[in-house]
A and B are shown apart, each in its own frame.
Chain A
Amino acid sequence: MHDTSAHAVQHHAPTSFIRKHVFSLDHKVIGKQYYALALAAALIGMVLSWIMRIHLGWANAAIPGLHTLSPNGAPGGVLTPEYYLQLMTMHGTIMVFFVLTTAPFAAFGNYFLPIQVGAEDMPFPRFNMMSFWVTFIAFLVLVSSFFISDGPTLGGWTQYAPLNAIGSSGGPGQGLGVVLWMISIALFCIGQLLGSLNFITTTLDLRVKGMSLMRLPLSAWAWFITSCMGLTAFSVLMPACILVILDHVAGTSFFVPSGLVLNDQLVPHSGGSTLLWQHLFWFFGHPEVYIAIVPGIGIVSHILIANMRKPMLSQRVLIYCMGALAVLSYMVYGHHMFVSGMNPISSLAFSFPTLVITIPATITVLIWVFSLYGSRLRINSASLFALGFVSMFVSGGVSVLVGSNNRSLP
């Protein structure tokens, strides 16, 4: 905690257009830049989903402009099966990384966190600026794969090995397309690591005098917990992406075992492990679910408090629940791998915490719902969205019971 009068992060008001609007050091401008990026990404992701939906409804329909974008993937504007997979992969990647992570965490967090803790700005403004611009470059790299000869990768947003590492013989986009995907996600991870460092330091070191941790608003706690998850999850995904790039360009075999045959030719790799990728990916991938949802939990709690005109039944319990969700999210990742061929005992071990994680989630919902009791709930757009979130959270939450059953999957 700090005394703002003594250690405030201050920078002079920018004078040039570039410094003010482009390479800005101001957390609010950076927050808005992240939000604009998230909106642009959401727009592209949405258009991709329209194209896929149109194709599902009218398989032979020519979609205007698609032939120009990819003469091979959509000859005459009609989607080929492989181009459908490429669009699906890009849709998933854009939505998970550049919308779900960028908007609730990086955009809103950047804008509001320093204000909520009473700081002038983030402690490392240049890192903050770099965080956005690295993320922006990551997005450009990802989108650029639409314009290479065989298009973007078709391996899905999870990019399972060894399809992600065997090169163009695995299908369209599996050569340069995968490399661009991996570069993009590695850059994205760097951006989010820089952001997480800033968020954590802001929360721990730049709180205004008298603002103890337990007095922090729930949304500030949510961004703090999310940034702790970001720091540990993205730091695992980034090296995993680099290892795949090495498999492509340096002849290594981190994810390709020996004895594989493609197009009647032995794949010139040996000694790698396909399950290694799944472990590294899901160690990021499951916390990523909570990186996307925990800021939502915090923001919704904050909005409900303001509109109920009374505090939550217990702020402390909600904070502990968000913390428990974050910690447990690392212990459940194997439930994405029940049928992956890993040791069946491991599946049991991952099933149990997946069932247990429903307890903090249930407590969170109960605190929200029972906090409404005796309130003077104001109905407006913000509270309607927040209450809708609670309803949706319940629907998603009960599906955990189904998904956590490793028995349901063989």
Chain B
Amino acid sequence: MGKFFAITIFVIAILSAIPIVMHTWEAPADISTHGHLIDEQMSETMAEAGISFLAAQLLLAFFIWQFSNRGTESKLKSFPGGARALVIAAVLVVGVEVLALGVFGVKAWAGVYLTPPSADAMPIQVQAGQFAFYFRYPGPDGKFGPLHPERINEGSQEFFGLDKEHDVESRDDIVTAEMAIPVNKEVHLLMHAKDVGHSFFVRELRVQQDFVPGLDVSLHFTATKIGRYEIVCTQLCGLGHYNMKAYLDVLSNDDFNEWMKKQAAMQ
């Protein structure tokens, strides 16, 4: 029974490792300038975790195979190195491993969160509410008009609560239900929650950030590949959460300008 159990652990460990080693389940191709840092970090982490996983499982299986159901004539022995050797080995090997992960990983994190967007980054405001995203572009004046939550009225398509009559800066603001951005242009995303917590997740962009009610959060990224991508909410936000999504269109410069003109005409 002991040997059978050891074989079971061995087989499960090897079978679990195969899809990882063979890259069976890959993340979709990265379309951002910062994404490769995150992908490299993930590969490094998976390699370290995978080696630790296999080493521990195979050693466990080997020791069960070797030392189970031995007769009383077999002498009890202790591991020659003792606990001290194991502790030193664990602190050194795992310590270096996690330190490396930590140090290399800071670069990716800092690139997204600790560096401000460039001065010419395109500002776009995204508002999340039960159960839709709406986007606002500042228009030719480059400025967003102030929000008036009490004016929000979805029935009359007043999603942001703008007061175009009194706020000059709001008059040229462009509100859309889909997000379009020009390729290779940095975007400064200003995130606003209308009601409860939501999240902005575009897996191809390697971007995920919560909307925090009462706290406007910002994020910046540059998309490098033209295409249509799904934006989904990944924070449980109520009964329609499962269906809360929008689309991100990454367009060429010309197509983006054309799209913007069309949207402006529809306001």
B67 touches A344 (CB 8 A): no
A261 touches B129 (CB 8 A): yes
Q: Which of B77, B83, B213 contacts A317 (CB 8 A)?
A: B83
Tell me the count of chain A residues lying within 8 A, CB to CB, of chain B: 81
Most buried by A among B99, B101, B153: B101
Q: Does A339 contact B (CB under 8 A)?
A: yes
A202 smallest CB distance to B (angstroms): 28
B78 touches A313 (CB 8 A): yes
Q: Does A148 contact B (CB under 8 A)?
A: no
Task: A339 to B106: give the CA distance in the assembly, Å.
Answer: 15
Q: Which of A85, A275, A377 contacts B2 (CB 8 A)?
A: A377
Query: Given A317-B87, A379-B5, A406-B105, do A369 and B76 touch, yes or no (CB 8 Å)?
Result: no
Contact pattern, A 367-378, Cβ under 8 Å of B = 1, otherwise 0: 101111111111
Q: Does B86 contact A (CB under 8 A)?
A: yes
Which residues of B, 204-240, contact A by the 8 Å Cβ criterion? 206-215, 217, 219, 235-240
Q: Which of A162, A163, A166, A347 contacts B109 (CB 8 A)?
A: A347
Q: Does B264 contact A (CB under 8 A)?
A: no
Q: Which of A256, A261, A369, A395 contacts B63 (CB 8 A)?
A: A369
Binds B, one of A204-212, A242-250, A356-364: A356-364
Task: A365 to B89: give the CA distance in the assembly, Å.
Answer: 13
Please give, as numbers and ranges, the residues of chain B lying within 8 Å of A394 by CB-CB distance: 52-53, 56-57, 60
Q: Does B145 contact A (CB under 8 A)?
A: no
Q: Does B28 contact A (CB under 8 A)?
A: no
Name the residue on A nearest B214 (C-beta). A257
Please give, as numbers and ranges, the residues of chain B lying within 8 Å of A63 by CB-CB distance: none
B246 smallest CB distance to A (angstroms): 18
Name the residue on A nearest B76 (C-beta). A310
Query: Given A272-B214, A408-B38, do A379 and B68 touch, yes or no (CB 8 Å)?
Result: yes
A171 smallest CB distance to B (angstroms): 4
Contact pattern, B 226-267, Cβ under 8 Å of A = 1, otherwise 0: 000000000111111111000000000000000000000000
Q: Which of B12, B41, B147 contacts A408 (CB 8 A)?
A: B41
A345 smallest CB distance to B (angstroms): 8
Q: Which of B12, B38, B212, B239 contacts A341 (CB 8 A)?
A: B212
B60 touches A369 (CB 8 A): yes
B100 smallest CB distance to A (angstroms): 10
Residues of A that sit less than 8 Å from B by CB: 81-82, 85, 154-156, 160-163, 166, 170-172, 174, 256-262, 264, 266-267, 272-275, 309-310, 313-314, 317, 339-341, 344-345, 347-348, 351-352, 355-356, 358-359, 362-363, 365-367, 369-379, 384, 387, 390-391, 394-395, 397-399, 401-402, 404-410
Residues of B that sit less than 8 Å from A by CB: 1-2, 5, 9, 12, 16, 34, 37-38, 41-42, 45-46, 48-50, 52-53, 56-57, 59-60, 63-64, 67-72, 74-79, 81-83, 86-87, 89-91, 94-95, 98-99, 101-102, 105-106, 108-109, 112-114, 129-130, 147, 149-150, 152-155, 161, 193-197, 199, 206-215, 217, 219, 235-243
15 contacts between A and B (CB under 8 A): A163-B238, A256-B213, A257-B213, A260-B196, A261-B152, A264-B152, A344-B113, A351-B102, A356-B98, A358-B98, A367-B83, A373-B63, A379-B1, A401-B45, A406-B105
